[in-house]
Structure 1
Amino acid sequence: MVRIDAFGMPSEELIARIEAEAGVGNREIVVTTDSKDTLEDLVAYSNESDSSIDINVVENDKGWEVRLEIGGADQVTLPHSNESSVPKDAVS
């Protein structure tokens, strides 16, 4: 799990950081922010990617804690193969 304090961080920079963390195998990312725009961008990112999102209000209503789970629970990683997954008789 990775925590990112996004107070004052531009959304573009935050999304790039999330993608970089996911790229090195971090699948659970928790972001804290006080920006409604950033919150909306995180929801949009979750909707556009294979991510789930859970949003909680930070104590004393001073922002949000956003938990992203990168990659679906039903996502299966298949071993690499040079063979096509399309049956040979399906291609004319």
Structure 2
Amino acid sequence: MSSTPPPKPSSSEDIVAQKYDRCLADLLVKSGIGFSIGVVASVILFRRRAWPIALSTGFGAGAAYADCDRSFNPARIAGVRVVEHPPAESK
């Protein structure tokens, strides 16, 4: 029987890189969805104008930005309180 080695703790650089990767993927997905909704709305409702495409793409990018901001700064999440621990006493 071979045993698997214990998982290595993630470094802070890896954690930040994973957050950036998630933010970039979220930006691409939400902007793409906004773009596609804008194209459909432009063709069906607004006689092929360009502003619905730009507006909905901007909404998608803004939603992705807000999610990314919350992942990097958890104090911005509604209902979350950040409490600092008192410094440890040295003996």
Larger strand percent:
1
Structure number with bigger Rg: 2
TM class, shorter-length: under 0.3
TM (norm. structure 2) is 0.26
TM-score by length of 1: 0.26
Specify which structure has the higher proportion of helix: 2
